[in-house]
Every structure is written in C-alpha cells, then in structure tokens.
Amino acid sequence: MLSACTAALIERPQASRPITLRTAFELTGRLSARHGRDALSASFRWTHEPARDELELSNPLGQTIARLSGDAGGVRLQSSEGRVETASDWTVLTTRALGWPLPVEGLAFWIQGVPHDGAPATVEAGSDGMPETLRQDGWNVVYQAFERGGDGVSRPTRLTLDYPEVELRIAVDEWR
C-alpha cells in the first residue's frame, strides 16, 4: 500500500521559499509502522492546532481503526471496538497502546521539516538547502520528497522516522 514511500526517485524542489512553520494544519495521507514483528498500515487524517491534535486512523477499506485526540489536559484513544484509553500525554498513551512512543508533539514540527524547541537537534541539508535528515529526541527523520504549495513554500510529502526497534513511514497526500 505504501509503495510510494519507498520509491527510488527523490523529488526535491528547486529554488523555492524556505520552509515556513505552520502553527495549524490538516494533513491526509498514509502511514506504515513497524515495531519488532508488529506492523500497521493505515490512512490518516491529522488536524493540528496550537493547543489540540486530532488524529484518525483508517484501514485500507476506509473503516476507522482508532481516533486519537489530545490537548494540555490529556490525551485519549478510542478504538474501533469502543475501547477508550486516556493518559496525561502522547508518550504515555502511545507507549501503552502501541508498545512504543509516537512523538506527536515533535512530529508536528518534524513533518514540516524543522526541529521543535526545547531539545537538541541536528539537521543536515541537501545541496538545495532543504532538510535531508533531522535527528532529535532519539528519532532520525529522513526526508525523501517535498511538494511546493501554491504559496511557494515546500512541504515534506514522504519521510521515514526511525527510533530503536521502530520504523514509521509517512506519505502525505494533502497539506491544508
């Protein structure tokens, strides 16, 4: 399903405006995650606002697998079976539900091609000035493709995140 994530062709924009951090966005796309022998493939819709995130995961047939939401008051996961889990933050919730931490707070920045404040990071840029690799919080983020929006700003559309024993591939279909 995510063969587009592994394409050998690297699409990198030429001469576009630098990446501009959005404080709010909505993304749709596909992801695959692998942790040890466990694997998950899903479509997603992610709405990020400065104070709240909502993430919906769907199977290849379009049926909702899980809904995740969170703000400063805590985070919540509702499975398709109706099971609800809550926690104080994304790391606690996703570690308990997935077996590994999904860094939603950091991912809101990394998916835009920039590190978040408050933790050391390294960013390696390509000859075009766009990020190729970002390392932060124990995660390695490799950017494989970008798309230039109508505003002239380039946004990542394919990236791979690696963490000990975890690989997460993301293909963004639409930025809003």
Question: Model confidence over 114-152: pLDDT tens digits?
Answer: 999 999 999 999 888 899 999 999 999 999 999 988 778
Name residue 155's beta-bridge partners. Answer: 147
Residue 65 one-letter amino acid? I
Cα–Cα distance for residue pair 104/28, rounded to 1 Å? 15
Question: Model confidence over 25-57: pLDDT tens digits?
Answer: 999 999 999 998 889 899 999 999 999 999 999
Cα–Cα distance for residue pair 153/172, rounded to 1 Å? 15
Q: What is the CA radius of gyration of the chain?
A: 16
- Supply the pLDDT for residue 18: 58
For residues 155-168, average pLDDT = 95
- Supply the pLDDT for residue 8: 33
- Supply the pLDDT for residue 129: 86
Please name each of the domains of the chain with its CATH number: 24-175 (2.50.20.10)
Question: Model confidence over 60-104: pLDDT tens digits?
Answer: 889 999 999 999 999 999 999 999 999 999 989 988 888 888 888
**Which residue matches tokens 């946004």?**
155
- Supply the pLDDT for residue 83: 92
* Cβ–Cβ < 8 Å for 92, 105: no
- Record the pTM: 0.85
- Supply the pLDDT for residue 3: 40
